[in-house]
Chain A
């Protein structure tokens, strides 16, 4: 649990760095750690993505501050002796090329990963791209995804001719940020009563397609449910007067 604390601190440091609020000296420290610590790097990936999503920013513009990128890049290429030219600024455009997609999907270079959005419209089947990473997957359907999400998230378990890739981002490894898992016996607000889940489930069958994802997500989310603030007891009958004009009968 104390590890959680440090994680939390690191996260907030990351977050500060991400927002450009961390002093330069600390930035470099974090950047070095980032280069060495894979978990932290994942957090960073996630963090940048989440941040962009939450702020509704165009994702492709998000990238590591250049000096940070440089440090990370240097450390990484020293460690892996792989393609140092692959920098974060290579984001959007070059990803159109299949080969770069492969490298990219292979998870090289945090700089390339952070905030990079590969969006490519495939005129032709993208099979090679897809299958290359997943050849062992058919025996390994996403049921097992829980432990080893990464490749599968970006790349479908089994794909075939003519799949069209609409969006493809660097895989994020979602286990480590923002949303904490449900803690047993912790906050009383985490009700998510199974009883209610039944109803939400049944409702999802009638919700508009646009809202279904949202409704279903409610069901499987691990975020705590926000309870309505306490209110005066018994507001029950006849309390509503808002719109008394229409009077209808339901058959």
Chain B
């Protein structure tokens, strides 16, 4: 025991020494490498695990099964506690089973070129918004792991503490905390197995769900930010956030398209849905935000249209992004991106962001 403690404190000293001598960039790049490995493991491996998801003093157990086979991703996440809700993804079909609502929401996503979903890239810019600590070798749940800590440098984003299994690169434990260091939520695996194969049955919708109401939706168009008709401008975004994706899509239960804009700082992302999926009246009535752990949902009105903002960011970030979005009436996709481009006729939008 004493020997262990001694060794541990020696290791800590060593870490502290290294911390003092290495340039900041070195920590960032090592941490980044581990995060990339983890992203890869999470999205490319097949696994089956149970985790506890804790937030606001409550813990809920969930099971996740994830399979990548012949270029197709299947995934199933189920609440093992009260709600019985499930998320099932089979290739490009995504379903949410909501027994408490007697409902299954099913969404068809277009087949994109890549097998895996696009997610924010971690790059050097993150060091501007997050403080990277040196990667630590630790033991957690009996496994050799690496501890990665990213502390936000401003209140527009959350911090992360991740314990990554050294062998499998899977996150054994994850914590999200706010800028003050208060833990908002924690995910800790209780068991986790990497699987060579997982049967198809595993991804069948749960028995009994066939009598639920099925609500379908589909993508009508998925376009990159380059060729989109509708152009939205932002006067100023929270530091580090930029538009990474913009598509037009329908959501379950409605025919009318919404614009789905994604903003990201490389780690956290924020989706802004502008358009008709909620009625304007409904949006006006329920304007306001909800927070569940690190997940924020904001219903608001953007440029006269109902909008919903969802993201793993503080409410203020969601609100700021929403409040800065405007339809750029004059712009066209071919127009060069100059910073101060509001053309002459756009009187109202030019007037809006007063100093």
Q: Could you tell me which A residues sit within 8 Å of B by CB distance? A: 49-50, 53-54, 56, 58-60, 92, 117, 119, 121, 138, 141-146, 149, 153-154, 156-169, 172, 174-175, 177-182, 191, 194-223, 225-228, 231, 235-240, 242-251
Contact = CB atoms under 8 A, between A and B. Distances in A.
B51 A213 contact: yes
A194 B282 CA distance: 13
B81 A175 contact: yes
B15 interface: no
A145 B63 contact: yes
Contacts of B231: 250-251
B338 A249 contact: yes
A53 B52 contact: yes
Given A143-B204, A208-B267, A199 B251 contact: yes
Contacts of A145: 63, 78, 80, 206
Contacts, number: 391
Contact of B167 (A121, A168, A219, A240): A121
B87 A219 contact: yes
B29 interface: no
B205 interface: yes
Contact of B56 (A160, A226, A242): A226
A143 B207 CA distance: 6
B240 to A, nearest CB: 10
A166 B87 contact: no
Interface in B145-192: 160, 162, 165, 167-168, 170-176, 185-192
Contacts of B295: 200, 214-215, 218
A218 B187 CA distance: 12
B320 A240 contact: yes
Nearest to A235: B319
Contacts of B120: 208
Contacts of A156: 48, 65, 193, 195, 198
Given A157-B201, A179-B60, A201 B94 contact: yes
14 contacts: A153-B50, A163-B195, A166-B165, A166-B193, A201-B105, A202-B251, A204-B87, A206-B117, A225-B292, A226-B290, A244-B235, A247-B339, A250-B328, A251-B225
Given A202-B107, A221-B83, A163 B199 contact: no
B171 A157 contact: no
Contact of B271 (A202, A238, A249): A202
A205 B80 CA distance: 22
A79 B63 CA distance: 32
Contacts of B141: 58-60, 117, 119, 167
B111 interface: no
A166 B194 contact: yes
A250 B82 CA distance: 42
Contacts of A250: 225, 231-234, 243, 246, 261, 328
B323 A209 contact: no
Contacts of A240: 236, 319-320, 323-324
Given A141-B202, A194-B98, A237-B323, A178 B60 contact: yes
A96 to B, nearest CB: 10
Nearest to B334: A251
Given A157-B199, A218-B292, A237-B352, A142 B63 contact: yes
Given A158-B202, A218-B293, A60 B142 contact: yes
Contacts of A53: 52, 54, 59, 186, 188, 190
Nearest to B262: A206
A131 to B, nearest CB: 13
Given A179-B58, A199-B310, A163 B196 contact: yes
Given A154-B50, A195-B278, A205 B117 contact: yes
B146 to A, nearest CB: 14
Contacts of B305: none
Nearest to B308: A199
Contact of A198 (B43, B84, B105, B337): B105
A168 B63 contact: no
A149 B63 CA distance: 10
B331 interface: yes
B291 A228 contact: yes
A143 B205 CA distance: 7
B91 interface: no
A149 to B, nearest CB: 6
A228 B186 contact: no
Give me the 3 closest cross-chain CB pairs, A-B, nearest first: A181-B82, A222-B83, A220-B85
Contacts of B62: 213, 217, 220
Contact of B323 (A162, A181, A236, A246): A236
B109 interface: yes
Residue in A119, A153, A157, A202 whose Cβ sees the most chain B Cβ within 10 Å: A202
B179 to A, nearest CB: 13
Given A157-B201, A214-B185, A209 B77 contact: no
